[in-house]
Structure 1
Amino acid sequence: MIRSLQHVGITVPELEVGRAFYQAFGLLPHVQGNDLAFRCEGRQQDQIRLMSGPRKRLSYVSFGVGKGELENFTTRLEQHGVRVSDGPFARQLDGIWFQDPDGDWIHLCEADSQPTRIVTPPEINTPGEYRRIGKRGCGLESHARRVSPLRLGHLIKFSPDVDRQVDFYTRVLGMKVSDRAGSILAFLRSAGGGDHHIIAFARSSHTGLHHLSFEVGGLDEIELGARHLVEQGYRSAFGLGRHVAGSNYFHYIRDPWNSLCEYFWDIDVIPKDDADWEPWDATPEQVTAVWAVSPPPPDFVLNFEQP
């Protein structure tokens, strides 16, 4: 089964523009041949791989599977008429490659999700549960704190046919639907349990990247990270708020090519084989936010990638 989201490959016209943005976001760059990869501090796993090309586009998504499972996936894909390839990109990665129904490249490799650095959660005083006594919850130095994301949690990509993608990713790749909004939006998780979604699909006229989402250590870090990016000249897109599907707090920032990067915290976790989890099928408005400081702007749902 697909166990983890490993990393995402993106083609961009200017690698250094990407370096500046993702470093300001809090990621650590390192060179891989002609490419530029980014990791989260303390985590030995690439999260983004930028490749040079004439225009920005989502190039591929890499998922991790269990040891010895690649052969079974190859057989299953071929049984469903999906051609398995050695890979379409100059820098080869171990594993198998194929295209989903939208023509987007998917990479599967035998890999575990690497551990994140340990973050001590803050003590929170809630009604009837006062745990932080005689200690400040916020210090004078908090203003200058730099945010360092813990991990890449999920992505949403656009699709002209969400139902077709859901069918492929569940029936062929074995993922599960956590929630959806008809044929407009669908959230999928690993069958092995974990985050509410590691990939989701949003309807558009063509494929492309809507957003990448990185977990941080708390609500303060969401806003400290977003504020820092705005101070660096990047545009706030939507947030602060709290999603309904997934329950996570969020703030989205536009990247240099008008896709989105999200800081998130406190996402729903669904255990393996949870028979009690009933996926919602609601409207996009119902699943988007229980609250936000302002409504999502009209361009929040636009696909800025060229078809």
Structure 2
Amino acid sequence: MSDRLITHLRHVALAVPDYDRQHEFYTTMWGLTEVEHDSGITFLAAEGSPEQYVVRLRRAEEKRLDLVSFGAATAADVDALADRLIKQNVRIISEPGEVETPGGGYGFRFFDVDGRTIEVSSDVAVRVHRRLEEKESVPVRVSHVVLNSTDINRTREWYEKHLDFALSDTLIHPNMGDMMHFMRCNPQHHSMAIARGPHTSLHHISFEMRGIDEYMRGTGRLLRGGVRKIWGPGRHLAGNNTFSYFLDPHGNTLEYTTELELLDEDAWHPHVYDFTRPEVSDQWGTANPMDEFVAAESFNDPDRGVFVAPPV
């Protein structure tokens, strides 16, 4: 996929009404590091990541997903993608130009088919980061983001056509059809997934841990701290990654994971998995059963940011 213009997931930006409570949760409990703050906006980094930040929190009256940010290799790639999207009648929010957030860079924003704000940028300065040590149970980096859509096949086709994402695997329900598409922009099994939901919203943000031991220690720390667990710990079949899902104070679902599969893209053929089979949802059999109540937790609230660009 040498012609692919998007390289990786950079960060996810959230608007939150209870800003102080969210800030405390993400820094004290979840394990992210504040790198900069200004006028009700906080930029939070993962200790092992070269990205300037992996989560942005913005104080707002309404909860919403502000944007999802992806990387590009060069400014020329940013321009090429912008030109392509304009010709394909994608709604552009801002034309390519200087990015005025930590690390700078060159990028632009646009709406996806469901009305989410997507940002693509290049030339962002590399953050000074470090190798996490054994037993450090804080995120190494952001792993992937999962988005709820009322028509996941339309959304999948949009990302394939306009942004060159590729399908890795699909989860189905024998009576309801396609339930989740795992999409990739690099050899990682998925940097994004599209889940079937009753409305457009954020499903979850996933964070990579150093290893199994650190993943379990982090899961245990959150349980001891009284953070509400939705599902896990376990290991999925699609992606072969571990999972522990929790709710942040505003009901956004977050995941600790590790060992997400890397694919040989030239040889890979997508699988179709029936997620009602227990070994598909959880190979280990250690997680609480996936049922309609667990699934509903990650429907989240309807996104107030559909086709409304964030103010910053």
Normalised to the residue count of structure 2, the TM-score between the two structures is 0.82
Give the corresponding residue for 1:117. 130
Whether contact under 8 Å (1:160, 1:204) holds in the other structure is yes
Give the corresponding residue for 2:266. 275
Give the corresponding residue for 1:26. 31
Give the whole-Å Cα distance in 1 for the aligned partners of 2:125 and 2:222: 28
Whether contact under 8 Å (1:3, 1:112) holds in the other structure is no
The alpha-carbon deviation at position 2 of structure 1 amounts to 0.8
CA RMSD of aligned residues (A): 2.2
**Aligned letter for 1:284?**
F
Q: Closer, same or farther in 2 for the Cα pair 1:299/1:255, shift >3 Å? A: farther
**Aligned letter for 1:194?**
P
Q: Closer, same or farther in 2 for the Cα pair 1:295/1:113, shift >3 Å? A: farther
Give the whole-Å Cα distance in 2 for the aligned partners of 1:189 and 1:239: 24
Give the corresponding residue for 2:118. 106
Give the corresponding residue for 1:285. 276
Give the whole-Å Cα distance in 2 for the aligned partners of 1:12 and 1:70: 29
Q: How does 1:78-97 map to 2 (within 5 A)?
A: 78-86=86-94, 92=100, 94-97=106-109
Give the corresponding residue for 1:147. 137
**Aligned letter for 1:95?**
G
Asked whether 1:161 is paired with 2:180, we answer no
How big is each residue's C-alpha offset from its partner over 1:30-62, in whole Å with a ceiling of 9 and x where there is no partner? Answer: 333220111011434210001111222212100
Give the whole-Å Cα distance in 2 for the aligned partners of 1:263 and 1:174: 27
Give the corresponding residue for 1:62. 69
**Residue 94 of structure 2: SS of its match in structure 1?**
coil
Give the whole-Å Cα distance in 2 for the aligned partners of 1:113 and 1:295: 43
Equivalent residue in structure 2 for 1:53, among 54, 60, 63? 60
**Structure with bigger gyration radius:** 1
Give the whole-Å Cα distance in 2 for the aligned partners of 1:52 and 1:104: 19
Q: Closer, same or farther in 2 for the Cα pair 1:19/1:120, shift >3 Å? A: closer
Asked whether 1:210 is paired with 2:203, we answer yes
Aligned residue pairs total 277
**Residue 17 of structure 1: SS of its match in structure 2?**
helix
- Identity level (%): 30
Give the whole-Å Cα distance in 1 for the aligned partners of 2:126 and 2:108: 20
Asked whether 1:184 is paired with 2:179, we answer yes
Whether contact under 8 Å (1:237, 1:252) holds in the other structure is yes
**Aligned letter for 2:284?**
W
Unaligned runs of 5+ in 2: 173-177, 304-312
How big is each residue's C-alpha offset from its partner over 1:185-231, in whole Å with a ceiling of 9 and x where there is no partner? Answer: 000111xx331000001011111111111111122212211221122
**Residue 164 of structure 2: SS of its match in structure 1?**
coil
**Residue 137 of structure 2: SS of its match in structure 1?**
coil
The alpha-carbon deviation at position 251 of structure 1 amounts to 1.1
Give the whole-Å Cα distance in 2 for the aligned partners of 1:239 and 1:80: 41
Asked whether 1:305 is paired with 2:305, we answer no
**Residue 228 of structure 1: SS of its match in structure 2?**
helix
Give the corresponding residue for 2:162. 172
Give the whole-Å Cα distance in 1 for the aligned partners of 2:31 and 2:220: 12
The alpha-carbon deviation at position 3 of structure 1 amounts to 0.2
Give the whole-Å Cα distance in 1 for the aligned partners of 2:171 and 2:219: 28
Give the corresponding residue for 2:213. 220
Asked whether 1:295 is paired with 2:289, we answer yes
How big is each residue's C-alpha offset from its partner over 1:150-185, in whole Å with a ceiling of 9 and x where there is no partner? Answer: 000101111111111111111110111110125320
Give the whole-Å Cα distance in 2 for the aligned partners of 1:263 and 1:26: 11
**Aligned letter for 2:93?**
S
Whether contact under 8 Å (2:281, 2:290) holds in the other structure is no
Give the corresponding residue for 2:244. 251
Give the whole-Å Cα distance in 2 for the aligned partners of 1:206 and 1:178: 24
Give the corresponding residue for 2:44. 38
